[in-house]
Chain A
Amino acid sequence: MGFYCFNILTGLCLISAFLVVTSKNPIHSVFFLVFLFFNTAGLLILLGVEFLAMLFLIVYVGAVAVLFLFVMMMLNIKISESSNSIYRYLPIGLFLSILFLFEIFIIVEGDLNSIEMPVFVEARYLLLENQFVHNVCWFDNVIASTNVDVIGSVLFTFNVYFFIITSFILLVAMIGAITLTLHRRSDIRRQEIFKQLQRDFERATVLKR
């Protein structure tokens, strides 16, 4: 069953990635990108890292793609109708894609046969023919750590400097965005919320003589 899940998810990933690039309407591209992130999260669940899969959904789909969607909707992007202008980029595109394929083959050595499932110890000791002897991995039963524990035990101890530097990078990005867009004009009248909340019935109207 894992076989079918993997192949369906990967196939959908490839199809939606292709449709991201070739859609005429940019909003359709963003929705196909969202679908791609969903399928990638499914692949991560198959790998057993469900915490990362949920983080993918929360961060990529819930924040990054929403940001893309907002930008797409605000800008006046024209829907590209002409389809014969894409053949101009074919030589360089082909060269780059062959380069990336070559890089993937450097990393993934060996054949693309599927790794066989680890054979349980019971099948090897068929000599015993004793169905009450099970091989139990006691380590897994005693120390059952979730994904969060494992990531936390490494990220906050051995790689804590990377963590702090990453948080500083995010802080700088946030301050940069605020600095670029915030301009306080001195001549407009603003709302003073605390004054509005302190308004009292007796002092709301004043009789002037």
Chain B
Amino acid sequence: MYFLIVLNLILKSLAIIVPLLVAVAYLTLLERKVMASMQQRRGPNVVGLFGLLQPLADGLKLLIKETILPSSANTIIFILAPIITFLLALVTWSVIPFGADMVLIDLNVGILFVFAISSLGVYGIIAAGWSSNSKYSFLGALRSAAQMVSYEVSIGLIIMCVLLCAGSLNLSEIVYAQKEVWYCIPLFPLFIMFFISGLAETNRAPFDLPEAEAELVSGYNTEYAAMGFALFFLGEYANMILMCSVLSILFLGGWLPLINISPFNLIPGVFWFGFKVTILLFVFVWVRAAFPRYRYDQLMRLGWKVFLPFSLAWVLFVSGIFIGLDWLV
């Protein structure tokens, strides 16, 4: 009896994790191809047809490479850090709704769970930087951690605005609340701010100073050789896809079709969700190709002196409107 329940849970989890890993692997290829197109060259196109087997080749290379453990590193935490990062990137996917009633766990505080796990992502980075016992890793990790913590504040305030409009912390309820109009239309500045804060939260260009290869020798994952580096990489891309899916759930109506009319209704919700997440990922890669990097003090100034006051003002504005016009659910 318990065996069947456990088997059910394991199969459902695998049904989320395996497509996610395939998506992460092919996201690396998508990024290289799209950036190449924007720079007027082809991307990888040698390995398979149009380069489609490139992620497999990359994975095989990283698997075969020798794992180096620095002798003066704190071994337990050194090995645990990429594990923590990848684990946290996968755990959040249990509460994301892919379609109507297609959630692994329909948590009543779903959005808070996503926020909590993203604020735990700081630990993997600090642990990686500190345990490498190297100046550059440590500085890169501290910079990266401070940046993540700063942009989480504005993410939290923006989530608060969306919650006021939706009336519930449940992710499925937030999607259902956007049946009349998607939240990116009334809350469009918040959509832009959440997008930019999501870029900063996942250490993604133009906020990738802590991990750029030309600065600080690629930051906290300097000392990580093969599988550790692969886990960090996978964790970062999984976080990217997660940020895009949270963005589409909160602002773009999740798995709801464009308009609730017949030709759009026939397409299942999962495809709409995937379509929106793919477009947002394309914009993520586009931003990486187009914009120069922010210097670290400019990045921190943006987070604390620009985004925090703006999102705080929006919380006041939205709650003022709701109380004044008596729209509170």
On whether the two chains bind one another, the answer is yes
Q: Please give the residue numbers on chain A whose beta carbons come within 8 Å of chain B beta carbons, in ascending order.
A: 1, 25, 27-28, 31, 34, 50-51, 54-55, 57-58, 61-63, 66, 69-70, 73, 146-148, 191, 193
Q: Tell me whether A50 and B109 are in contact (CB under 8 A).
A: yes
Q: Does B23 contact A (CB under 8 A)?
A: no
Q: Tell me whether B142 and A34 are in contact (CB under 8 A).
A: no
Q: Tell me whether A66 and B109 are in contact (CB under 8 A).
A: no
Which residue of the partner chain A has the closest CB to B302?
A193
Q: Tell me whether A54 and B126 are in contact (CB under 8 A).
A: no
Question: A28 to chain B: which residues have CB within 8 Å?
Answer: 77
The verdict on A58 contacting B116 (CB below 8 Å), with A50-B109, A193-B301 known, is: yes
Q: Tell me whether B112 and A58 are in contact (CB under 8 A).
A: yes
Pick the contact of B113: A54, A146, A147, A193 (CB < 8 A): A54
Q: Tell me whether A58 and B119 are in contact (CB under 8 A).
A: yes
Q: Tell me whether B123 and A34 are in contact (CB under 8 A).
A: yes
Q: Tell me whether B169 and A146 are in contact (CB under 8 A).
A: yes
Question: A193 to chain B: which residues have CB within 8 Å?
Answer: 298, 301
Q: Does B230 contact A (CB under 8 A)?
A: no
Q: Does B67 contact A (CB under 8 A)?
A: no
| A61 CA / B121 CA spacing, docked (Å) | 11
Q: Does B16 contact A (CB under 8 A)?
A: no
Please name 23 pairs of A and B residues whose Cβ atoms are closer than 8 Å in the assembled complex, sorted by A: A27-B74, A34-B123, A50-B107, A50-B108, A51-B109, A51-B112, A54-B113, A54-B115, A58-B116, A61-B116, A61-B123, A62-B116, A62-B122, A63-B119, A66-B122, A66-B149, A69-B123, A69-B126, A70-B126, A70-B145, A146-B108, A147-B108, A193-B298
Which residue of the partner chain A has the closest CB to B107?
A50
Q: Tell me whether A146 and B168 are in contact (CB under 8 A).
A: yes
Which residue of the partner chain A has the closest CB to B306?
A193
Q: Tell me whether A61 and B108 are in contact (CB under 8 A).
A: no
Which residue of the partner chain A has the closest CB to B141?
A73
Which residues 1-43 in B have Cβ within 8 Å of A in the complex? 2
Q: Does B120 contact A (CB under 8 A)?
A: yes
| A184 CA / B112 CA spacing, docked (Å) | 38
Q: Does B284 contact A (CB under 8 A)?
A: no
The verdict on A61 contacting B120 (CB below 8 Å), with A146-B168, A148-B169 known, is: yes
Question: Smallest CB–CB gap between A173 and chain B, Å?
Answer: 16
Question: A147 to chain B: which residues have CB within 8 Å?
Answer: 108-109
Which residue of the partner chain A has the closest CB to B163?
A148
Q: Flag B137-159 by CB within 8 Å of A: 1 or 0 each.
A: 01000100100010010000000
Question: A25 to chain B: which residues have CB within 8 Å?
Answer: 74
Q: Tell me whether B145 and A66 are in contact (CB under 8 A).
A: yes
Number of A-B contacts (CB under 8 A): 65
Which residues 112-136 in B have Cβ within 8 Å of A in the complex? 112-113, 115-117, 119-120, 122-123, 126-127, 130
Question: A66 to chain B: which residues have CB within 8 Å?
Answer: 122-123, 126, 145, 149
| A158 CA / B276 CA spacing, docked (Å) | 44
Q: Tell me whether B116 and A57 are in contact (CB under 8 A).
A: yes
Q: Tell me whether B109 and A54 are in contact (CB under 8 A).
A: yes
The verdict on A27 contacting B130 (CB below 8 Å), with A57-B120, A62-B120, A66-B145 known, is: yes
Question: B127 to chain A: which residues have CB within 8 Å?
Answer: 31
Q: Which 7 A-B pairs have the closest CB atoms?
A: A62-B119, A57-B116, A54-B112, A58-B116, A54-B109, A50-B109, A54-B116
Question: A34 to chain B: which residues have CB within 8 Å?
Answer: 123
Question: B120 to chain A: which residues have CB within 8 Å?
Answer: 57, 61-62
| A19 CA / B138 CA spacing, docked (Å) | 25
| A204 CA / B164 CA spacing, docked (Å) | 46
The verdict on A58 contacting B149 (CB below 8 Å), with A66-B123, A146-B169 known, is: no
Q: Tell me whether B109 and A70 are in contact (CB under 8 A).
A: no
Question: Smallest CB–CB gap between A92 and chain B, Å?
Answer: 33
Question: B149 to chain A: which residues have CB within 8 Å?
Answer: 63, 66
Question: B142 to chain A: which residues have CB within 8 Å?
Answer: 70, 73
Question: B122 to chain A: which residues have CB within 8 Å?
Answer: 62, 66
Which residue of the partner chain A has the closest CB to B298?
A193
Which residue of the partner chain A has the closest CB to B146?
A70
Which residue of the partner chain A has the closest CB to B152?
A62
Which residue of the partner chain A has the closest CB to B168?
A146
Question: B169 to chain A: which residues have CB within 8 Å?
Answer: 51, 146, 148
Which residue of the partner chain A has the closest CB to B108?
A146
| A147 CA / B169 CA spacing, docked (Å) | 10
Q: Flag B290-319 by CB within 8 Å of A: 1 or 0 each.
A: 000000011001000000000000000000
Question: Smallest CB–CB gap between A90 and chain B, Å?
Answer: 29
| A27 CA / B109 CA spacing, docked (Å) | 31
Question: A57 to chain B: which residues have CB within 8 Å?
Answer: 116-117, 119-120
19 additional A-B residue pairs with CB within 8 Å, beyond A1-B2, A147-B108 = A25-B74, A50-B108, A54-B112, A54-B115, A55-B112, A57-B116, A57-B119, A61-B120, A62-B120, A62-B152, A66-B122, A66-B123, A66-B145, A69-B123, A70-B145, A147-B109, A191-B297, A193-B298, A193-B301
